[in-house]
Amino acid sequence: MVSRRAFLGKSLTLSAGVAFSSAARSYAQTDTPVAFTAGSGPVLHIPADFIGLGYEMSSVAPIGLLSAGNSRYVQLIRGLGPRGVLRVGGIVADYTRYEPDGTIVTEPQNTVINRASIEQFSAFLKKIGWKAIWSVNFAQGSIDDAVQEAKAVTSILGREVLALEIGNEVENLARSSHPFRQAPYTYEIYRKEYQEWREAILRAVPHIRFAAPDTASSVEWVEQMAKDANGEVQLLTTHYYRNNQRNGSAEQLTYPDPKLRDTLTRLRAASQASGIPWRMCETNSFSGGGRPGVSDSFLGALWTLDFMLLMASYGCSGVNIETGVNQLGFVSSYSPVQDDGRANNTAGAPYYGMLAFAVAQKSGSDLLPLSFDALGLNITAYLLGHGTTPRALVVINREADRDVPVSTEHLGLQSYTAMRLRAPSPEAKNGVTFAGSAVATEGGWQPAEVEPAHGHEVIVPRMSAVVLCAPGQTT
Is the pLDDT higher at 475 or at 96? Answer: 96
In degrees and rounded to multiples of 5, residue 56 shows phi and psi of -70, 155
Q: Does 379 lie in the same domain as 278?
A: no
Q: Does 218 lie in the same domain as 125?
A: yes
In a domain, 230, yes or no: yes
Residue type, 93: A
Q: Does 32 lie in the same domain as 85?
A: no
What CATH number is attached to the domain comprising 376?
2.60.40.1180
Residue type, 92: V
Residue 317's nearest CA partner among 157, 162, 167 is 162
What CATH number is attached to the domain comprising 155?
3.20.20.80
State pLDDT tens for residues 186-203.
999 999 999 999 999 999
The DSSP-derived string for 1-14 is ----HHHH-S-B--
**What pLDDT does 463 receive?**
98
For 214, the enclosing helix (H) or strand (E) is strand 210-215
In degrees and rounded to multiples of 5, residue 38 shows phi and psi of -65, 135
For range 388-392, the mean pLDDT: 90
In a domain, 474, yes or no: no
In a domain, 305, yes or no: yes
Q: Does 403 lie in the same domain as 309?
A: no
Per the CB < 8 A criterion, the answer to whether 456 and 401 are in contact is no
Q: Return the number of other C-beta atoms located less than 10 Å from residue 24's C-beta.
A: 22
**What pLDDT does 474 receive?**
52
Q: Does 444 lie in the same domain as 356?
A: no
The DSSP-derived string for 385-412 is EETTEEEEEEEEE--SS--EEEEEEETT
**What pLDDT does 475 receive?**
52
Last residue of a domain, one of 334, 362, 390: 362
Identify the weakest region by mean pLDDT among 89-103, 275-289, 460-474.
460-474
Helix ranges (DSSP H) in 129-218: 143-157, 187-204
Residue 420's nearest CA partner among 467, 475, 370, 472 is 467
Pairing of strands 96-98, 110-113: parallel
Query: Can you tell me the distance from the alpha carbon of 276 to that of 235, in angstroms, rounded to the nearest whole number?
Result: 6
Q: Does 81 lie in the same domain as 15?
A: no
For 266, the enclosing helix (H) or strand (E) is helix 260-274
Q: Does 229 lie in the same domain as 286?
A: yes
Beta bridge partners of 86: 53, 132
State pLDDT tens for residues 424-474.
999 999 999 999 999 999 999 999 999 987 778 899 999 999 999 977 655
Per the CB < 8 A criterion, the answer to whether 423 and 301 are in contact is yes
Give CA torsion, residues 74, 79, 83, 85, to 10 deg: -60
State pLDDT tens for residues 200-238.
999 999 999 999 999 999 999 999 999 999 999 999 999
**What pLDDT does 414 receive?**
65
Tell me how far apart the 2 most distant CA atoms of the chain are, in Å: 68
Residue 219's nearest CA partner among 270, 283, 184 is 270
Per the CB < 8 A criterion, the answer to whether 332 and 324 are in contact is yes
For range 144-155, the mean pLDDT: 98
Pairing of strands 105-107, 235-244: unpaired
Q: Does 291 lie in the same domain as 268?
A: yes
How wide is the angle at C-alpha 38 spanned by C-alphas 35 and 39, nearest 5°? 105
The DSSP-derived string for 95-111 is GEEE-TTPPPEEETTEE
Domain total for the chain? 2
pLDDT averaged over every residue in the chain: 92
Burial class (CB in 10 A: 0-12, 13-18, 19+), 40: exposed
Q: Does 403 lie in the same domain as 336?
A: no
Identify the weakest region by mean pLDDT among 36-50, 112-126, 285-299, 445-459.
445-459
**What pLDDT does 20 receive?**
25
pTM score above 0.75:
yes
In a domain, 374, yes or no: yes
How wide is the angle at C-alpha 87 spanned by C-alphas 84 and 91, nearest 5°? 160
Query: Can you tell me the distance from the alpha carbon of 257 to that of 248, in angstroms, rounded to the nearest whole number?
Result: 12
Confidence category of residue 177, pLDDT binned at 50, 70, 90: confident
**What pLDDT does 473 receive?**
53
State pLDDT tens for residues 26-83.
444 447 899 999 899 999 999 999 999 999 999 999 999 999 999 999 999 999 999 9
Last residue of a domain, one of 362, 387, 406: 362
Give CA torsion, residues 437, 84, 92, 261, to 10 deg: -90
In a domain, 323, yes or no: yes
Give CA torsion, residues 68, 73, 79, 85, to 10 deg: -70
Q: Does 452 lie in the same domain as 305?
A: no
When computed from its CA atoms, the radius of gyration of the chain, rounded to whole angstroms, is: 22
Q: Does 190 lie in the same domain as 161?
A: yes
**What pLDDT does 9 receive?**
34
SS3 category, 283: strand
SS3 category, 414: coil
What are the strands of the beta sheet with 404-410, ordered from one edge? 370-372, 34-38, 404-410, 457-460
In a domain, 475, yes or no: no
Q: Does 35 lie in the same domain as 115?
A: no
Residue 74's nearest CA partner among 53, 57, 58, 47 is 53
SS3 category, 149: helix
Q: What 8-state DSSP symbol labels residue 58? A: G
In a domain, 55, yes or no: yes
| Domain encompassing residue 265 | 48-362
Beta bridge partners of 211: 165, 235
SS3 category, 355: helix
**What pLDDT does 11 receive?**
36
Query: Can you tell me the distance from the alpha carbon of 183 to that of 173, in angstroms, rounded to the nearest whole number?
Result: 9
Last residue of a domain, one of 338, 362, 386: 362
In a domain, 393, yes or no: yes
SS3 category, 421: strand
Contacts of 179 (CB under 8 A, 6+ apart): 173
Per the CB < 8 A criterion, the answer to whether 215 and 191 are in contact is no
**What pLDDT does 415 receive?**
74
